[in-house]
Amino acid sequence: NAGVTQTPKFQVLKTGQSMTLQCAQDMNHNSMYWYRQDPGMGLRLIYYSASEGTTDKGEVPNGYNVSRLNKREFSLRLESAAPSQTSVYFCASSDSGANVLTFGAGSRLTVL
Amino acid sequence: DQQVKQNSPSLSVQEGRISILNCDYTNSMFDYFLWYKKYPAEGPTFLISISSIKDKNEDGRFTVFLNKSAKHLSLHIVPSQPGDSAVYFCAAKGREGGSNYKLTFGKGTLLTVNP
């Protein structure tokens, strides 16, 4: 049982480049989330998708876009990367209204 | 404004002793609280939770206490083991319009258990 799978695990970008972080879950969860973790800042919600076909902004959505491709997959796109987006990104999923999120292993992104 | 606060960035304890990690919150609409544990290069994993209708929840060596009047919760680990060394995140959940629930995390506390 893979749980939540994120790709890539590591990525280095130059300022202005674009990229997409992929996330897939195999637990038949309805809700999916993207968080970023920065030193001394904890985990901050970027975007979430309560169910297939819906997406909503979280705490820090600027500079990002998301796509809920289907029930399993939720991608995060950086259209024009900035050094401030250097971070570790975590995807998570949960049942609707459930209290516990299951996280992926993370994607470490460095923007030069 | 930070709604979930973990004021101790780090904590060091001896193996076998008690570890107490603290968390304060400001939003009275929070009704469910969780603790997550995170090892380096891994995602956070769920550890233990408590509903606002309770004041204590126990799971093996881990106990979470909730003081609603003080808006404070704590995680007790007894006895502490070297494998407990990790970052611990406090998280809170409450309804924010509609039926969507989102977790708000604290900044985390790095626990080091020394052999």
pLDDT in tens, A12-38: 999 999 999 999 999 999 999 999 999
**Cβ-based interface (< 8 Å): residues of B facing A:** 4, 6, 9, 32, 34, 36, 41-46, 49, 89, 91, 93, 98-108
Whole-number Å distance between alpha carbons of B87 and B77: 13
Mean pLDDT, chain A, as a whole number? 93
Whole-number Å distance between alpha carbons of B85 and B19: 10
pLDDT for the residue numbered B101: 60
**CB-CB under 8 Å, A100 with B101:** no
Cβ-nearest to B89 among A33, A43, A100: A43
Look at chain A and count its residues: 112
Measured between beta carbons, the chain A residues lying within 8 angstroms of B100 are: 31, 48, 50, 56
pLDDT for the residue numbered A97: 67
Q: How far is B25 from chain A (nearest CA, A)?
A: 14
**CB-CB under 8 Å, A44 with B42:** no
Maximum CA extent, chain B: 48
Is the Cβ–Cβ distance between B2 and B69 less than 8 Å? no
pLDDT at B97 over 60: no
With a CB cutoff of 8 Å and minimum separation 6, the contacts of B82 are B15, B113, B114, B115
Strands B72-77 vs B62-67: parallel, antiparallel or unpaired: antiparallel
**CB-CB under 8 Å, B102 with A99:** no
pLDDT for the residue numbered B26: 92
Is the Cβ–Cβ distance between B99 and B92 less than 8 Å? no
pLDDT at B104 over 60: yes
pLDDT-derived band of residue B98, with 50, 70 and 90 as boundaries? very low
pLDDT-derived band of residue A111, with 50, 70 and 90 as boundaries? very high
CB proximity under 8 Å: A 31-70 to B: 31, 33, 35, 40-45, 48, 50, 56, 58
pLDDT for the residue numbered B110: 96
Cβ-nearest to B43 among A41, A96, A106: A106
Measured between beta carbons, the chain A residues lying within 8 angstroms of B105 are: 35, 42-44
pLDDT for the residue numbered A43: 92
Whole-number Å distance between alpha carbons of B35 and B99: 22
Is the Cβ–Cβ distance between A64 and A46 less than 8 Å? yes
Measured between beta carbons, the chain A residues lying within 8 angstroms of B109 are: none
Cβ-nearest to B44 among A45, A48, A103: A103
pLDDT at B100 over 70: no
pLDDT in tens, B3-14: 899 999 999 999
